[in-house]
Amino acid sequence: MTPSQATTKLTWRRFEDGDYEWEDMHEKIFVQDTSHKCPTYIHKTPPCQGSCPSGEDIRGWLAIVRQEEKPAPDMDWKEYAFRRSTEANPFPSMMGRVCPAPCQDGCNRNEVEDFVGINAVEQFIGDNAIKEGYKFTAGADTGKKIAIVGGGPAGLAAAYQLRRKGHAATIFEMNEDLGGMFRYGIPGYRVPREQLGSEIKRIIDMGVEVKLGVRVGKDITIEDLEKNYDAILWAVGCQSGRDLPVEGWKDTPNCVSGVAFLKAFNEGRMKVTAEKVVCVGGGDTSIDVVSVARRIGHIQHVNPTDRPELVVHENYVMHDTAVTAARQGAKATLTSLFKKENMTAAEHEVMDALQEGVVIKDGVMPTEVIKDANGRATGLKIVACTVDKGGRPSPVPDAEPEIIPADLIVAAVGQGGDLTGLDPLNNGRGFINADAYYRVPGKKGHFVAGDVIRPHLLTTAIGQASIAVESIDNYLKDQDQKKRPKVDVHHFNLLQKLAEQSLSPKAFDVQERGDMRGTSDGDWAVHNYEDRSFQEVITHEALFLGHFPYTPRLKRSEEVPTADEVLGHFKERLIGLTPEQAIDEAKRCMSCGLCFECDNCVIYCPQTAIYRVNKKEYTTGRYVATDYNKCIGCHICADVCPTGYIQMGLGE
């Protein structure tokens, strides 16, 4: 039969009855690998970002550092990475040093060999920004004024975000300097004061008014703030340490809180400590306490007025610098309910403390403070324990108690708020209640962020401040509060990226365009792209992990003193990455949920249906496209996509 008969002879049949199977096995396999679905490019949130309480676009600034995402015109890549990272967090230098990095715990690269050193790259971005003198820019003035009570991480981050929106901000801080827990809760060898000062100054230089040494509730009333400001943000933090809930703790003079201990040291008042320091905790604060104790040591013959607990308890007492000339090493012991591997302190901080000569007794609980006839603590009784799922410890049956000799006992078991003079805001537990938008329930115009809601991480306070500022902005504009997305972070925005590269879609005029069918080549929309980043976090199961070779993490160097060297050692321990090292470490990022231009889909497509877009139209997230006239739905491109960016969905 001739080819023309197929259209002219109505009884012509291409196949005989029963002739429906491929004769060739290769063809049989090929047709089974075919579907009606075609590739769709799906943007999702990576788990590093989903795990970050500040919601930083971590994948984004890593892509910039690795030289993949190109900077905006006339901008250096280092500055571009800084601008991207500080969309969410204005403290990259600080947080790159001290954040416990839940982002790294969530990193999908852990399924290959080890997480990406996100903190190390962030520190590089922040330190370089200070070196280059990068500045922040305030938005156009709105005429609105907001009072921020508290100049710690939450208050400063809120001031930054408010100024970006053009709102005036005044910070009321009861201490003599800004920084909160950055300055008063973390030692200078972990948070270098020069870098801290630079990051704070960059925010203040946006036009933030600061009132130091002013305590709201004492020096100024809530009513005064309500009268003179359009909104109030409470970011007072938690300045009070919790007592140790054991017999003999209360009213014992040489039993102090970790918060007060570190504040006395960081203010420069406490130059030496006791000979035998015991700290109860297991978190970062307790590690800082014992590390400080090892560094400042003790003096053999101490005047009663120079006892360290007096300096801790009384803000006006201060050690004479001369006493440091006679100091000797102090014995520092840390007790923890949990085993070392389960302590909440960062693993490298625990290892550093051990190297510095700290003794860690883990899996034990305190049961009693042992006191002498004068009522001073001389030791802490502990016993081996187990911890239930609720975090409640129980002594191990028949376990023998142990008494640790102590001249100073420090409790680092949590913090509480001090709301003296702020009774209308106190929820009865020393904290301030907040709704999902960080508004104070029942107090119109009042908002709250940070530890005074519930003590947590510095990065949590920064993230809460960002959301609180959005709520303040809506309130000032008298707009309804928008529902927060399921994945509530700072997302990569493809339309914004296209606009940055002068590639924005053209305006669509229905009268001009008419029929919308068959418009895949139209220049008025972003085709075949779906943004699910607001709903979904991509897991490692969606990635092609076989693409990634074993690549060891490029760790920051550390200068950690030994037990013999630690006395008087106040140099910073972390040594930052060089630009070359930062680039190499950023290249380990797997760009989960967004194309990183590996070309796998182009190379492996058997139909040559997938192609690189024209260089003039290319930008991050729009590196490849699909010719649907060629695509047969074989899904090979989705199988070999390392980042999980391609899904077989078009046609469903």
Residues 6+ apart with CB under 8 A from 415: 238, 239, 240, 241, 242, 259, 451, 455
With 80 as the cut, is the pLDDT of residue 520 above it? no
- Stretch 122-151: mean pLDDT, rounded? 98
Segment 354-369, tens digit of pLDDT: 999 999 999 999 999 9
β 610-612/402-405 pair status = unpaired
Please give the Cα distance from 646 to 634 (Å, whole number).
Answer: 13
For the domain made up of 145-240+417-476, the CATH class stated in words is alpha beta
- pLDDT higher for 337 or 521? 337
At the topology level, CATH places domain 241-414 in FAD/NAD(P)-binding domain (3.50.50)
Q: What is the rounded average pLDDT of the residues 585-599?
A: 97
Model pLDDT, residue 325: 73
pLDDT reading at 8 higher than 80: no
The pLDDT value given to residue 384: 97
**How would residue 395 be classed by pLDDT, with cut points 50, 70 and 90?**
very high
Question: Over 80: is that where the pLDDT of 588 sits?
Answer: yes
Neighbours of 454 (CB within 10 A): 14
Strands 446-448 and 231-234, by their bridges, are: parallel
Residue 33 has pLDDT above 70, yes or no: no
Write down the mean pLDDT value for the chain: 91
pLDDT beyond 90 at 66: yes
Same topology between domain 145-240+417-476 and domain 241-414: yes
Check residue 304 and report its DSSP letter: G
- Which has more pLDDT, 81 or 499? 81
The pLDDT of residue 6 is 47
Question: Is the per-residue pLDDT at 377 higher than 70?
Answer: yes
Sign of the torsion angle spanned by Cα atoms 121, 124, 130, 131: negative
HSE at residue 628, side-chain half, CA atoms within 13 A, is 16
Q: What is the C-alpha separation between 167 and 472, in angstroms, rounded?
A: 10
**What residue ranges do the domains of the chain occupy?**
41-132+491-514+521-650, 145-240+417-476, 241-414
Of 311-325, 407-421, 548-562, the one with minimum mean pLDDT is: 311-325
Name the percent of the chain lying above pLDDT 70. Answer: 92
Check pLDDT > 90 for residue 131. Answer: yes
More confident residue, 35 or 529: 529
Residues above pLDDT 90, as percent of the chain: 77
Question: What is the largest distance, in Å, between two alpha-carbon atoms of the chain?
Answer: 116
What is residue 490's predicted lDDT score, i.e. its pLDDT? Answer: 94
Q: Which residue has the tokens 């897991």?
A: 539
Q: Which residue, 147, 59, 245, 2, is CA-closest to 644? A: 59
Q: How confident is the model at residue 308 (pLDDT cuts 50, 70, 90)?
A: confident
Query: Around Cβ 569, how many Cβ atoms within 10 Å?
Result: 16
Q: What's the pLDDT score for residue 389? A: 87
Angstrom distances, CA of residue 439 to CA of 453, 462, 490: 11, 16, 20
pLDDT band of 646, cuts 50, 70, 90: very high
Stretch 281-296: mean pLDDT, rounded? 96
Is a pLDDT exceeding 50 seen at residue 150?
Answer: yes
Q: What share of the chain is helix, strand, coil (3-state, %, to 5)?
A: 30, 15, 50
Predicted pLDDT of residue 258:
96
**Can you tell me the distance from the alpha carbon of 185 to that of 199, in angstroms, rounded to the nearest whole number?**
17
| pLDDT value of residue 72 | 82
With bands split at pLDDT 50, 70 and 90, how would you rate the model's confidence at 391?
confident
Confidence bin at 617 (pLDDT 50/70/90) = confident
- Reading the block at residue 383, the tokens are 């016993």
pLDDT over 60 at 23, yes or no: yes
Average pLDDT of the segment spanning 77-99: 97
Residue with structure tokens 């490029």?
554
Query: What is the tens place of the pLDDT at every residue in 210-237?
Result: 999 999 999 999 999 999 999 999 999 9
Residue of 511, 383, 467 lying closest to 453 (CA atoms): 467
pLDDT at 26: 58
| Burial tier of 313 (Cβ tally within 10 Å: 0-12, 13-18, 19+) | middle
- Please give the Cα distance from 3 to 9 (Å, whole number): 10
* Residues 6 or more apart in contact with residue 253 via CB below 8 angstroms: 309, 313, 375, 376
With CA atoms as reference, report the closest residue to 399 among 384, 381, 382, 415. 384
What integer pLDDT is reported at residue 219 of this predicted model?
96
Q: Please give the Cα distance from 95 to 349 (Å, whole number).
A: 15
Q: Please give the span between the terminal C-alpha atoms of the chain, in angstroms, as a whole number.
A: 39
Q: Is the pLDDT of residue 4 over 70?
A: no
Higher-pLDDT residue of 513, 388: 388
